[in-house]
Structure 1
Amino acid sequence: MGHASVSEQSMISWTEAGEERSARWQSENKSAAPKRVVIADDKMTADSAFRLASEGNALLWRGDYQNARQLLQALARRIERKPRKAATSPLDAFNLHRQAQSQRARTLGMLLVEVDADYIIALRRAPDIKLACNEAYGASTGPFIVSLREILGLIGAHEWRKNGVEIPALNARIHPYYGVFSPVRGEYLNLIAEAPLPTTKLAFDIGTGTGVIAALLAQRGVEKVIATDQDARALACARENLLRLNLRDRVEVIEADLFPAGKAALIVCNPPWIPARPNSSIEYAIYDLDSRMLRGFLNGLAEHLEPKGEGWLILSDLAEHLGLRTREALQQMIADAGLKLIKRMDIKPTHARATDETDPLHKARSAEITSLWRLAAR
C-alpha cells in the first residue's frame, strides 16, 4: 500500500507535561485528526471519559493497555444505553441507523494510543502488533497516533487472515486481508455453484475482492478466469488466495476499473448492494453511492459479452426493503443497458443478522433475498 508523503500527512498536536508535542495522525477511514486532546490514564472514570469523548475531546491513553480496552467497552455500553429514536419508515430506520453508527464510530474513535516507529505500543500489557501493522499499513514510516479501535481492527483482521474463513461451496478456506471484505455471507456462493455455466472457456470476475468467486468458477471447470479489482489490498489478497488454492495458472488477477480488455462468454459481478455513501474502506463492498459499480457493470456488460454469453449479477434486494431502490428501477437499469433477463435464481440469507430481532433494520433484513440474475444482450 502506498503512504501519503509527509507534506500530505495529517498531524495531531497536544500538550503533555507542559510541553507542546505533535505526531503523524493515522486513520484508515480518513477521519480528521482531533483538535482537542486530553491525556488520560487508569485514574479516569468511564463516565468522565464518555463525557469528554462525546464533546469531541480525544483521550490520548497513557495507562495500562488492557484497561484502555475495557474503557472502550464501557464507552460502547454507554452509547447502547442512549434511547433510540423511533423510525417512521424503513428508509428512516436506515438513515437513523447509519447516523447512529457514524456517531458511535466517532465517539469510540476518540480513545487514542501512540505507536512508535517499530510498531510498538509502549504501554503496560500491550500486545505485539508488528505483524498486524505490517500487513495493514506496510513498512513503518515513523511513529504515529491512532485510535485504539483501529488497532483492535488490525489485530482482528490479522487473526482472520491467519485462520481464514471456511467456504463450504469451495470446500476450502479463504484468507481475507485487512480492508478486504470477507466472504462471510456464503449464500451467494451457493447460487454461483449451482447456476448452469454457459461456457468453460473464459470468464471475467468483476471486483474480485478476496478472489472467492474466481476460485469457485475455476473449481467448477472454467479453464481461464480473469479477475479484476481496483484496490491494491484486494489484488494482493486475491493473488495469495488463488496461490494457496493452486489456481494461479487458471486465474489471472489484474488491476482494472470493472472490465478487462476483450470479451467473455461469462461475466460475473457481485457489486455492493446498498446505494449509500461508505464510511470506511471495508464498507466499499456493501455501500456504493449512486449505485456506481452496479450501473457501470450493467452499462458495460453487453459490449464485453461474447454472442450468446451471459452476465451474472449477484445482488441482495435489501436496498428495496429499505426504500433505497425499487425493483422497477433495477429492471429499468437492466433494460436501459440493452440487456434482457434469461432467468433469476433466489436464495434467502442465513447470516445471524437476518434473525436478530434487536437489529434496527430487522424488518428489512428478515425479508431480504439474494438473487443471481442471468442476463444476456438483447
Structure 2
Amino acid sequence: MTSGQSVAAHLSAPARLLPADPLVFREMVIDVVRAVQAQRPDGFLHLLYSPELADPLDLRDDIRREVGLLRREWASTYPQPDIDFARFLTLDCRRVAAYMCETDSALDDPLFEASITQAHAEAHLGVQAEPELGNDTPNFSPYAVCGWVATTQSAAELARRLQRCNRLGRLHHYHWLRWHNPVYHAALWPVLTSEQRRILLGDALWIAPGPLGRLHLYQADPQPADAAPLPLSFSLDKAQLERHRDAPAAVALARSWQAAEGDCPLPADALKRVLRHLDDARRLKLRGEDRQLYAGAMLRMAPGAERAAEWTSLLDRTVRGENKLRDGIAVLPERFWSGGTLDDAPFDTAPRNPPHD
C-alpha cells in the first residue's frame, strides 16, 4: 500500500480503537503519523499540547522548539499567563538533540516518543487533568497531548488560523470554541461544512486521540480550483453552537455507557448517537438533568419502546412540568429496557447492551 493509499484508508475508515498495550499503541500512532507525513513531505510535524497546571511533559518554558500559542483574543481583558495556553510545538530533533537524528528529524525528536507515552497514559491509565485535583485550568482540556499535526504551515501560522476561529460573539457575550480540546473537536467536526473545515485546518492533517479511546484523523477537503478565496474565520450556526455546548455532557454519557459495557468497545459512532439524543431532547424542550436522562434512557431503551404510550405520556408530563423525568423513568416496566435497572447516579442511564437505532 502506498502512503497515499494508507492515509486514504485511515481517513475513510471509522476512528480506530487505541490499543491498551503500550507497544501496540505506539506502533499504531507511528504508522498513522508516517502516513500523514508522506502527504506533506516538505512540511512540519507539530505536537498540539495543552500544558494545564500539571504540564506533564515540562514544556511551558520550552524555548528550543518553534511554538505557536493558542491565545484567547480577549486575554488582555482577562489576563492569563502565556504558559497556560495550548500550543503547537514543532518537532525537530536538529534543534534539541542533533546527535539523535537518524532518518526523520521530527520523529527522532525525543518529545515525539514522550508525547506517545503521555497520550497512552491519558487514554488508558486515567492520567488526565482534573480541576478537583488542582492540576487543570477549568474549561481548557482534560488532555495534555491533543494530537499531532502534519502541515506546510508553521506552528505560529497554524495557531493564528485556529485562534481566528476560537471566539464567537462580542466582549462579555462570547463563546470560546476550544478547537484544541478533543472533547469539543470530536463533537463539532462531523457537523462542520467543507468550507468551515478548510478555514479551520487549511492543508493540515490532524491526528487526535479522541475522548472515547479512538484515534481520529481530521483533514479538510481540498479547495476547488475555481472557488473564491476563503474568509479568515467563520461563525457557527445555532445548531453547531448547541453541539459545542453539549460536548462535555455527551462524552460523560458515552463514558457511562462504556463503563456499563465493560470490555466491550462502544460502536465507532457512539458519540454521534448520544449527541443525536441530546438534540432530540432539546427539540422536546427538556432541560438540565431531564435532557441527559432522556439521552441515556434512549440509549438503553428496548427497540420500539420509545413509541410506547407510557413513554410518550411521561415525556408530555415532564415538558408540562408535572413531574421530573427521573421519577417517571424509575417506575417504567422492565420491558422498556435492554437490561438492568436504573441507579441513582446523574449519568446512570447508559445501556448495558449496544443501543438500537
- Bin the TM-score by the shorter chain: under 0.3
TM-score w.r.t. structure 1 length? 0.27
Normalized per residue, the structure richer in strand is: 1
Normalized per residue, the structure richer in helix is: 2
Name which one, 1 or 2, has greater alpha-carbon Rg. 1
